[in-house]
């Protein structure tokens, strides 16, 4: 049974105050908060078995290696990958994307085409622009409409036998739109292109099945799913990961080294040079455990109700406009009030203890599309409550009165 | 009045308020009396980098004193720049260069002083002082 008060008690940070008011944390799309269960795992690691992994003969090293590999298995199960070595542990989504973009340098030729969507995070635009500069490939963009949905007809027209790669987020960070990712993948495969899905904003809300989606690559950051920062996942189909060259050289990723030639280690170690974020990887697994114990179906239906409630209440404020109004979206509300700068609203909300994000959300092309400097973004999690929505709405009204 | 005297005057005005809301409302009021920058100067050259909202500042030397004009698309930011300009305008470049800005803390806007704060109060102070340095160099 989903009990939000019981869940909230797991998160020590939710008990604190900000500027004298109880914290209302609505910046979950930037990072999720950490439950005690995950904090305990981190403390236990450093208190009991902190050691380097994959090479020690001693007990601590063995325990740490087991826990780290156990976490990889959990991640594999969670995303329904076929094999554990298809899960590469990275420093996060940005690292994962750069790893793939770098790897494709040797697989592309001038004139090949790469397609990205118009609603990408900068981290899913810039690496591809850099890849295009290196290879002479061309970057094409799937446009979006006023509701914040991708124009699928335009996408189909962009696809051709020149298309080698398609990159798209599963869920837009700035708008919350859930993209028709299965269709995007199927159509790309029909012309022989590979697809990388940025799942950073999807994973906190839905449980992606990489095999059902048939994604070639799928990436997330642990800190969006109750885990720590600085660790994330790149899922890649085995045949793709074998095709890509290593990204960084170093320890851990080699099989044999002489000064004449180095042979690389097998997957996943080929892409995991150096000492990894061991504790982070273990805590990543613990974050997924925590969310799975609540259940993603329960999370999704709770958040959907919260989104509906918040949308209805916010829209009652005169002059408030929501960006990203498709029926199919996660619990993210990007909005502005006519004539008021989002930064001003964010500042007043902060004084009231309400944490939101303001600005362009690392998605400037979206802001340019709507011709706005930015938005106020309230992003909800399963530990937020209707009462917090009421506090937000009252805060926005207060800000509006002060600022207009 | 000297920069110090103006700052003391501002601290005095803000001390009348009991809570942050009144202080912010007053700051917004002050923003409305900001000497506005001429439209022709609202260019990228005059934008202060490091602010989430746009802030334009222009400086001109009249006799031996600097006159600042500015504008912002966010009204809290406009209030902040208005306070800074009130202390620095009609002052000699050398005095602006040497002025401290601790009064910001005293008027309850301490949180805006963090260099990582997105509003860029620190960038604003730096830019105003850079103007002073530039004009001082010209005068030497």
Which residues in B lie closer than 8 A to residue A359 (C-beta atoms)?
52, 118
Is B28 in Cβ contact with A341 (below 8 Å)?
A: no
Q: How many CB pairs under 8 A join A and B?
A: 41
Mean pLDDT computed over every residue of chain A: 93
User: Which pLDDT score, from 0 to 100, does residue B83 have?
Assistant: 95
Taking 80 as the threshold, does the pLDDT of residue A27 lie above it? yes
Which SS3 state, helix, strand or coil, does residue B110 take?
helix
**Structure confidence at residue B127 as a pLDDT band (50, 70, 90):** very high
Distance from the B100 Cα atom to the nearest Cα atom in chain A, whole angstroms: 25
Which residues in B lie closer than 8 A to residue A347 (C-beta atoms)?
76, 119
Structure token pair of residue A215 = 């994604």
Distance from the A55 Cα atom to the nearest Cα atom in chain B, whole angstroms: 41
Structure token pair of residue A292 = 């799975």
Cβ-Cβ contacts under 8 Å for B76 (sequence gap 6 or more) = A343, A344, A347, A348, A403, B24, B27, B28, B31, B119
Instruction: Give the length of chain B.
Output: 140
Taking 60 as the threshold, does the pLDDT of residue A77 lie above it? yes
Which residues in B lie closer than 8 A to residue A340 (C-beta atoms)?
75
Q: Which residue has the higher pLDDT, A111 or A251?
A: A111
Burial of A325 (0-12, 13-18, 19+ CB in 10 A): middle
Mean pLDDT along residues B111-131:
77
Taking 70 as the threshold, does the pLDDT of residue B117 lie above it? no
Tens digit of each residue's pLDDT (9 = 90 or more) over B58-75: 999 999 999 999 999 999
Structure token pair of residue A45 = 């690691």
User: Would you say domain A39-292 falls under CATH 3.40.718.10?
Assistant: no
Cα angle A178, A293, A63 (rounded to 5 degrees) comes to 110
Q: What are phi and psi of A273, to 5 degrees?
A: -70, 145
Distance from the B81 Cα atom to the nearest Cα atom in chain A, whole angstroms: 14
User: Which pLDDT score, from 0 to 100, does residue B50 have?
Assistant: 67
Question: Rounded to an integer, what is the distance from CA A85 to the centroid of its chain?
Answer: 21
Q: How many CA atoms lie within 13 A of A359 on its CB side?
A: 15
Q: What is the DSSP letter of A182?
A: H
What is the rounded CA–CA span in Å between residue A211 and residue A192?
17
Number of domains in chain B: 1
User: Which pLDDT score, from 0 to 100, does residue A185 have?
Assistant: 98
**Structure confidence at residue A247 as a pLDDT band (50, 70, 90):** confident
User: Which pLDDT score, from 0 to 100, does residue A3 have?
Assistant: 96
Tens digit of each residue's pLDDT (9 = 90 or more) over A206-240: 999 999 999 999 999 999 999 999 999 999 999 99
Q: Is any Cβ of chain B less than 8 angstroms from the Cβ of A374? A: yes
**Structure confidence at residue B116 as a pLDDT band (50, 70, 90):** low
Taking 70 as the threshold, does the pLDDT of residue A254 lie above it? no
Tens digit of each residue's pLDDT (9 = 90 or more) over B11-52: 999 999 988 889 999 999 999 999 999 999 999 889 887 667
User: Which pLDDT score, from 0 to 100, does residue B108 have?
Assistant: 78
One DSSP character per residue, B78-95 reads HHHHHHHHHHHTTB-HHH
Structure token pair of residue B99 = 């002025």
* CATH number (domain holding residue B61): 3.90.1010.10
Which residues in A lie closer than 8 A to residue B73 (C-beta atoms)?
341, 373
Is A343 in Cβ contact with B24 (below 8 Å)?
A: no
Taking 90 as the threshold, does the pLDDT of residue A11 lie above it? yes
Pick from B18, B25, B52 the residue to mutate for testing the A interface (most A CBs within 10 Å): B52
By Cβ distance, the residue of B21, B75, B118 closest to A341 is B75
Pick from B20, B74, B112 the residue to mutate for testing the A interface (most A CBs within 10 Å): B74
Taking 90 as the threshold, does the pLDDT of residue A392 lie above it? yes
Is B52 in Cβ contact with A358 (below 8 Å)?
A: yes
User: Which pLDDT score, from 0 to 100, does residue B119 have?
Assistant: 57
ipTM of the complex, rounded to two decimals: 0.86
Cα angle A313, A316, A321 (rounded to 5 degrees) comes to 100
Taking 60 as the threshold, does the pLDDT of residue B118 lie above it? no
Distance from the A203 Cα atom to the nearest Cα atom in chain B, whole angstroms: 28
Q: Is any Cβ of chain B less than 8 angstroms from the Cβ of A348? A: yes
Is B52 in Cβ contact with A403 (below 8 Å)?
A: no
By Cβ distance, the residue of B24, B28, B52 closest to A343 is B52
Which residues in A lie closer than 8 A to residue B119 (C-beta atoms)?
343, 347
User: Which pLDDT score, from 0 to 100, does residue B48 have?
Assistant: 86
What is the rounded CA–CA span in Å between residue A160 and residue A32?
39
Q: Is any Cβ of chain B less than 8 angstroms from the Cβ of A343? A: yes
User: Which pLDDT score, from 0 to 100, does residue A251 have?
Assistant: 66
Q: What is the DSSP letter of A32?
A: -
One DSSP character per residue, A355-386 reads E-EEE-TT-HHHHHHHT-S-EEEEE--TT--H
Cβ-Cβ contacts under 8 Å for A147 (sequence gap 6 or more) = A324, A325, A326
**Structure confidence at residue A119 as a pLDDT band (50, 70, 90):** confident
**Structure confidence at residue A126 as a pLDDT band (50, 70, 90):** confident
- Supply the Cα-derived Rg of chain A in whole angstroms: 22
Active site residues of B: 51
Handedness of CA A261, A267, A271, A277 (dihedral sign): negative
What is the rounded CA–CA span in Å between residue A369 and residue A177?
15
User: Which pLDDT score, from 0 to 100, does residue A37 have?
Assistant: 98
Q: What are phi and psi of B68, to 5 degrees?
A: -105, 145
Cα angle A23, A333, A20 (rounded to 5 degrees) comes to 15
Angle, helices A278-294 vs A36-44, to 10°: value is 150
Q: Is any Cβ of chain B less than 8 angstroms from the Cβ of A403? A: yes
Structure token pair of residue A69 = 């590999």
Is B21 in Cβ contact with A344 (below 8 Å)?
A: no
**Structure confidence at residue A84 as a pLDDT band (50, 70, 90):** very high
By Cβ distance, the residue of B28, B73, B119 closest to A402 is B28
Mean pLDDT along residues A298-327:
96
User: Which pLDDT score, from 0 to 100, does residue B104 have?
Assistant: 87
Q: Which H, E and C letters describe A340-355, residue by residue? A: CCHHHHHHHHHHCCEE
What is the rounded CA–CA span in Å between residue A68 and residue A49?
11
Q: What is the pTM of this model?
A: 0.91
Tens digit of each residue's pLDDT (9 = 90 or more) over A132-153: 999 999 999 999 999 999 999 9
User: Which pLDDT score, from 0 to 100, does residue B41 have?
Assistant: 92
Query: CATH number of the domain at A4-30+295-403, out of 3.40.50.460, 3.90.1150.10, 1.10.287.110, 3.30.365.10?
Result: 3.90.1150.10
Is A373 in Cβ contact with B53 (below 8 Å)?
A: yes
Q: Is any Cβ of chain A less than 8 angstroms from the Cβ of B47? A: no
Q: Is any Cβ of chain B less than 8 angstroms from the Cβ of A207? A: no
User: Which pLDDT score, from 0 to 100, does residue B114 have?
Assistant: 61
Q: Is any Cβ of chain A less than 8 angstroms from the Cβ of B16? A: no
Taking 60 as the threshold, does the pLDDT of residue A74 lie above it? yes
- Domain that residue B100 falls in: 3-139
Distance from the A84 Cα atom to the nearest Cα atom in chain B, whole angstroms: 40
Winning range, highest mean pLDDT, from A52-61, A161-170, B106-115: A161-170
Residues of chain A with CATH 3.40.640.10: 39-292
Mean pLDDT along residues A303-320:
97
Structural contact between residues B13 and B7, judged by C-beta atoms closer than 8 angstroms:
no
By Cβ distance, the residue of A340, A343, A348 closest to B119 is A343
């Amino acid at each position: 049974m989903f009990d939000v008060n019981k869940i909230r008690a797991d998160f020590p940070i939710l008990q604190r105050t900000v500027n004298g008011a109880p914290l209302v944390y609505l910046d979950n799309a930037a990072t999720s908060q950490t439950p005690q269960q995950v904090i305990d795992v981190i403390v236990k690691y450093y208190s009991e078995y902190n050691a380097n992994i994959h090479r020690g003969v001693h007990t601590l090293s063995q325990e740490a290696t087991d826990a780290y590999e156990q976490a990889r298995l959990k991640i594999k199960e969670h995303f329904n990958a076929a094999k554990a070595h298809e899960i590469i542990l990275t420093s996060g989504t940005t690292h994962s994307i750069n790893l793939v973009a770098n790897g494709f340098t040797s697989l592309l030729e001038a004139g090949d085409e790469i397609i990205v969507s118009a609603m990408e995070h900068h981290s899913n635009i810039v690496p591809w622009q850099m890849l295009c500069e290196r290879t002479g490939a061309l970057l094409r963009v799937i446009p979006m409409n006023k509701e914040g949905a991708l124009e699928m007809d335009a996408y189909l027209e962009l696809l051709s036998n020149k298309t080698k790669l398609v990159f798209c987020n599963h869920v837009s960070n700035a708008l919350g739109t859930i993209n028709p990712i299965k269709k995007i993948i199927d159509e790309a495969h029909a012309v022989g292109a590979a697809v990388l899905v940025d799942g950073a904003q999807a994973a906190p809300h839905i449980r992606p099945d990489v095999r059902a989606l048939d994604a070639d690559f799928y990436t997330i950051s642990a800190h969006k799913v109750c885990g720590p920062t600085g660790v994330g996942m790149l899922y890649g189909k085995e045949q793709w990961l074998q095709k890509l060259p290593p990204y960084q050289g170093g320890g851990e990723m080699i099989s044999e080294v002489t000064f004449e030639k180095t042979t690389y280690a097998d997957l996943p170690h080929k892409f995991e040079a150096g000492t990894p974020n061991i504790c982070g990887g273990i805590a990543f697994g613990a974050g997924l455990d925590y969310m799975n114990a609540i259940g993603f179906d329960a999370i999704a239906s709770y958040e959907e109700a919260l989104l509906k409630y918040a949308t209805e209440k916010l829209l009652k404020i005169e002059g408030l406009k929501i960006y990203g109004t498709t029926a199919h979206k996660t619990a993210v509300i990007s909005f502005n009030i006519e004539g008021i700068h989002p930064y001003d609203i964010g500042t007043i909300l902060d004084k009231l203890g309400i944490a939101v994000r303001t600005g362009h959300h690392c998605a400037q092309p979206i802001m340019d599309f709507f011709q706005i400097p930015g938005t106020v973004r309230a992003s909800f999690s399963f530990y937020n409550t209707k009462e917090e929505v009421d506090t937000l709405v009252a805060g926005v009204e207060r800000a509006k009165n002060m600022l207009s | 009045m000297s920069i110090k005297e103006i700052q003391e005057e501002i601290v005095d005005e803000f001390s009348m308020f009991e809570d942050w809301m009144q202080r912010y409302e007053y700051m917004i009021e002050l923003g409305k009396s900001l000497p506005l920058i001429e439209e022709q100067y609202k260019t990228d050259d005059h934008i202060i980098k490091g602010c989430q909202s746009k802030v334009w500042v222009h400086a001109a030397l009249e006799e031996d004193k600097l006159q600042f004009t500015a504008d912002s698309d966010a009204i809290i930011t406009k209030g902040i720049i208005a306070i800074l300009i009130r202390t620095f305008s009609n002052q000699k470049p050398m005095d602006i260069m040497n002025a401290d800005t601790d009064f910001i803390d005293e008027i309850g806007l301490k949180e805006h002083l963090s260099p990582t704060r997105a509003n860029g109060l620190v960038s604003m102070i730096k830019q105003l002082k850079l103007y002073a340095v530039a004009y001082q160099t010209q005068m030497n």
